[in-house]
Amino acid sequence: MTSKQRAFLRKMASSITPVVSVGKGSVTPEVVQSIAEALEARELIKVNVLENCPDDVKYVAETSGERARAEVVQVIGRKFVLYRPKKDKPVIELPK
């Protein structure tokens, strides 16, 4: 992913609210499944890492991205943004 594409996705993500929260269980299979389902429906999601999560936010973002086969777009504070295009017909068209 190029820096221009990443900037485009960051701009889009600024107005969305978190749809998944990661708590004290950290990155469980259930959390990964929720993230994968949300990505399939929306392509671009924001995830909130709660204060009681024992792991670092960057670790949670990278692990969630790997397991859900998504790209980590941005990590800010206790939130991060993931992107995965739909397999059939992507809704978000990235700049080249």
Task: List the pLDDT tens digit at each of the 96 positions of the chain.
Answer: 889 999 999 999 999 999 999 999 889 999 999 999 999 999 999 999 999 988 999 999 999 999 999 999 999 999 999 999 988 888 888 888
Name the one residue in this structure whose structure tokens are 């994968």: 36
At 95 the pLDDT is 82
What are the boundaries of each domain within the chain? 3-83
3-83: which CATH topology?
Translation Initiation Factor IF3 (3.30.110)
Q: What is the DSSP string of 26-80?
A: -S-HHHHHHHHHHHHHHSEEEEEE-TT--S-HHHHHHHHHHHTT-EEEEEETTEE
**Rounded distance between C-alpha atoms, residue 65 and residue 79, angstroms:** 13
Structure tokens at 53: 């999560």
